[in-house]
Chain A
Amino acid sequence: MDSTLLWYTTRGAGAVTLILLTAVVVLGILSTLRVESSSWPRFLTTGLHRNLALMTLVFLALHIVTAVVDPYTHLGWAAALIPFSSYYRTLWLGLGVISFELLLAIVVTSLVRGFLGHRTWRAVHWLTYAAWPVGVIHGLGTGTDTWSAWMLAITAACVAAVGTAIVIRLTSGSADPLAAHRITFQSAVDRRESR
């Protein structure tokens, strides 16, 4: 295959991965807000969050595979899987590998959540807050297009989106839209008083 095509694909898939991952993270952070309407019940937000995450992995795989098979780079599979083993831009590529592996852990634990238990799953899911910034730094450090105006605009927009989401989440408190319903239900099945 034409190695120029591969190189463009790597860069394009990297940019798309950043945008998708940002959308996933923003939806995840804002999932505690009560966003719903009669045509958009709340559970669809979490469904979208999950499906976008799976799509992110697809583009990330494309990003990694095209980079490795590109004959021009001579990266090799080891560099794509073992952090900081690359001769080329050791630090920046290593950060990319770490971000990829964190995401992989988050997605895999989510897919087998039923076998894992909620607590373990949740602990692993907190790694999102590491995977996203590490991925952004990887892009800033080694991206071919990083300092072009359009890529700068995308990166800035992504950072702003996640930043805003975090601020909204922190300032809106941890309102649990289920809490009131849960208390109502639990009062019907609670026999602690009578024991």
Chain B
Amino acid sequence: MARLLDGPDLAKGAESLQDHTRRLGPVPALDQGFIATLGRTGATGRGGASFPVATKWQAVARHARRDVAILVNGAECEPLSKKDRALMTTRPHLILDGAFVAARVLGARRVVVYIGERHSVASRAMQQAVAERPASERSLVSFEAAPARYVAGQEAAAIHLINEGIATPTTMPPYPFVRGIDRMPTLVHNVETLGQIALIARTGDATGTVLITIAGAVPRPGVLEMSGTATVGDAVKRAGGSIDGARAILIGGYFGSWVDAGSAANLPLDAGILRTKGLNLGCGVIGVLAESRCPVCEVAGMMRYLASESSAQCGPCFFGLRALSEACIRISERGSNHEDLNRLQRWAVDVRGRGACRHPDGAVSLLQSAMKTFAHEFGTHTPHRATQQIGAA
């Protein structure tokens, strides 16, 4: 079975169009029947929401009265994720194949590639790859740089930047599949999703793999391509680490959940199965928290970051996340107290669902999972004498 990161040594950088085509063969001619193929494979988006790909394509096709646009989302604003950059840097033509398959099937005449402004290596690889494509494809493509802020990767924020030059989330509806880039129905896909689509276009089958960024307390943090039947424990092992030496695992990154290392070990890297357990694989981040680190300070740092990343458009998100992060920081700096613990429990419920985008919801589910998994630490925390650095796992 073909995989995303098959082919030449990844350390050599981008695979050229010539090598790519020689290795995988050309993309077969496809029509709207391909949407049914996508549906049969059960492919889901890899940007974080795990939304079914075929449903998105159907929605765009249904609204495609005039022109359609494709948005290739390589903003990768999640602080712990590296997999989008890894794919753009090493297999750019896989991503472009996926984008041009979508353009042909849906009749798009515009493809916008949106890459984080600090991801310069990935951006150069993608621009070089576009330059290698035939003129008929090249002429469709333009590039936009995503500001390096958390919400800039959100689809409505990306479209807002492309249309108006400012990457703030907007209210939905209108959804991108109704009105996106230049008011056209727009298909927005994460770069990994497009890579998966490129392989489905050739084989008719899903790869069954997922790109994982493994971060934190492992000897070899980085990007792995794992089978969906492999477990969190397998991923930690492949990164040279051991789940026994970990206190907890962050599944799904900053919008994900903290899970006890013991219960995380046997969880499969499958968004659908994780969802049935109330977990979200998100953009595929697996963060390993060492026994020696303080979870409370870790969570306080993450909440402070997420609060600072609110675009200050909706009151409950801006003020709610600020209040929650301040309560976390008070516990972290002054020690556990009932008042703040109760506030965290109560306010988390009050903030959920109260923003135009899902930013507050993601932050709150992270906090709630942390308060469950680290209930003991939150209840007994005392300030550290030397300030422990708080921040990413």
Contacts and interface: CB of A to CB of B under 8 A. Distances in A.
Contacts of B313: 178, 182
A191 B145 contact: yes
B166 A41 contact: no
Given A118-B171, A186-B311, A195-B165, A43 B343 contact: no
A87 interface: no
A173 interface: no
Contact of A191 (B166, B173, B356): B166
Given A117-B174, A186-B168, A186-B311, A191 B316 contact: no
Interface string B152-166: 100001000100111
Contacts of A195: 165
Contact of A41 (B147, B168, B323, B339): B323
A186 B157 CA distance: 11
A44 interface: yes
Contact of B351 (A36, A43, A191, A192): A43
Contacts of A2: none
B53 to A, nearest CB: 22
A179 to B, nearest CB: 8
Judged by DSSP, the binding face of A is helix
A189 B171 CA distance: 17
A42 B315 contact: yes
A116 B175 CA distance: 11
Given A39-B343, A44-B350, A189-B147, A181 B167 contact: no
Interface residues of A, number: 27
A43 B319 contact: yes
A186 B323 CA distance: 21
A88 B320 CA distance: 49
Contacts of B152: 189
15 contacts: A39-B343, A41-B322, A41-B347, A42-B319, A43-B347, A43-B350, A118-B171, A178-B312, A182-B313, A184-B312, A188-B147, A190-B165, A190-B166, A191-B167, A195-B165
Interface of B: 145, 147, 149, 151-152, 157, 161, 164-168, 171-174, 310-313, 315-316, 318-320, 322-323, 326, 339, 343, 347, 350-351, 354, 356
